[in-house]
Structure 1
């Protein structure tokens, strides 16, 4: 998941860890998941409580991956008022990692606060590319060499984990902002297994903890815009989420899960 080929990866993962055998890769899993969100930490006095759900779906669309993430949260402020927030994010990404379509719409109390839509492409795997926005305005931005789209980003993280890497940096474009691409800093720990899970399809797979920090490209800030940590299984399914929004942190627990058979 956001919560996402290999030519760029060979450059980005070089050095720092002795060579070792790489585990066979499990295929990326088309699946549906529902996460229950609870407030783990409030750093701002304005946030008195928070709860919500996040529904995530990724489908095998034969020549690409179609995904949808719907995040619903209720924030309780210090005056006891409930504030309803909704984010609806959909993408289609080609399996060669070269093309992507995206749309993201956020509302607060049913008023639209942000909306982004368009399509992006790379010249070649590991090469530069462009993103063309149709919303909020018609504009085109360049994407630097090495940029990955979300599913390719996830695959790169999992490949690094199998190879025993602990830290990697990956340029990312996911279509959640009109600012263009981002930089991501990834820390991987305790990769191994299998480990116990209530979900039989996951219990037989290796997994590990992954922490991803997202930064606006071209800024000197050392503070990430957003951070998320999770347990990633070898097929790209995530659980045990910690979603850091700055003023507060939400914990996400996988409460519904099902593998979706390929439709091809």
Structure 2
């Protein structure tokens, strides 16, 4: 089971200590000011299993931190998932994913290390520059290579901001190529389905911070890049995630569909991080 790319991604940026500051942004993406710098912990457990799949159990934790680095978003996501099959075999997969994303969406520095059963199975690192014409990726790992980005490519935090803007505007579908730095395969096509519209604030006893905020439920499908230029990617998604996003970019309910099985993620802890800017 190949979980390399699937375990690493959420439509949020990530941070790795030691990155140099991002190039100063000329103009931040509209809506960036609404995003909340925070730390969050999610409890993961098995939600459902497809017919004929051998998976019997899955549980884990995801830790996420996003920091306002003034001209960029810096965050880090660490993920551990234990998956067991009917024969009693249990495999532990962990990922440590980090990026530094300019607030104007012009650049991304990224690093991902994934381990399965204690052995490193994937390392991806490099930087990408984004232009209206597409842009370019310069990988340092797994090899020193370069690749082009398709026109219209956006980065993880920009994807979050624009998805929320689409929901607020009453749109039901948002389609865009996305590059997140979790694979050496370059950008993916994404289709975001927004269901239920822009939801009014609701009481939240566990996290009062979210009680006064509107939100939207959406399902994001990731596809291998479509080279025909038609958009929307291949017929079958490589991965899907459903979640509820609040207007400040915090997600409290996740469902990650890995094909054979679906994992449910629930927000367990939430802490704001003061801005140094």
Structure 2 distance, partners of 1:127, 1:160, is 22
Q: Does 1:37 align with 2:71?
A: no
Structure 2 distance, partners of 1:226, 1:45, is 16
Q: Does 1:98 align with 2:109?
A: no
CA gap 1:176/1:91 in 2 versus in 1, 3 angstroms: same
Q: Secondary structure at the match of 1:157?
A: helix
CA contact (8 A) 1:167 1:186 kept: yes
CA contact (8 A) 1:184 1:214 kept: yes
User: 1:11-61 CA distances to partner (integer Å, 9 max, x unpaired)?
Assistant: xxxxxxxxxxxxx99710011110000100112532111100011110001
For residue 206 of structure 1, the aligned residue among 209, 214, 219 is: 214
For residue 57 of structure 1, the aligned residue among 49, 56, 65 is: 65
Q: Which stretch shifts more, 220-229 or 96-105?
A: 220-229
Q: Specify the alignment match of 1:261 in structure 2.
A: 274
For residue 228 of structure 1, the aligned residue among 241, 250, 253 is: 241
Structure 1 distance, partners of 2:96, 2:181, is 12
Q: Specify the alignment match of 1:128 in structure 2.
A: 134
Q: Specify the alignment match of 1:162 in structure 2.
A: 168
Superposed structure 1 runs of 4+ greater than 6 Å apart: none
For residue 80 of structure 1, the aligned residue among 73, 88, 92 is: 88
CA contact (8 A) 1:25 1:234 kept: no
Counterparts of 1:172-251 in structure 2, within 5 Å, are 172-190=178-196, 191-197=198-204, 198-218=206-226, 221-251=234-264
Structure 2 distance, partners of 1:247, 1:119, is 32
Report the CA distance between 1:201 and its aligned residue: 1.3
CA contact (8 A) 1:26 1:234 kept: no
CA contact (8 A) 2:42 2:266 kept: yes
5+ residue gaps in structure 1?
Answer: 10-23
Structure 2 distance, partners of 1:195, 1:25, is 23
Structure 2 distance, partners of 1:65, 1:148, is 14
User: 1:229-262 CA distances to partner (integer Å, 9 max, x unpaired)?
Assistant: 0011001110110000111100000000011110
CA contact (8 A) 2:189 2:226 kept: no
TM-score of the two chains, using structure 2 as the length reference: 0.84
Root mean square deviation of aligned Cα: 2.0
Report the CA distance between 1:83 and its aligned residue: 1.1
User: 1:172-215 CA distances to partner (integer Å, 9 max, x unpaired)?
Assistant: 00001100001100011222211122211111000110110000
Q: Secondary structure at the match of 2:34?
A: coil
TM-score of the two chains, using structure 1 as the length reference: 0.88
Structure 1 distance, partners of 2:113, 2:33, is 32
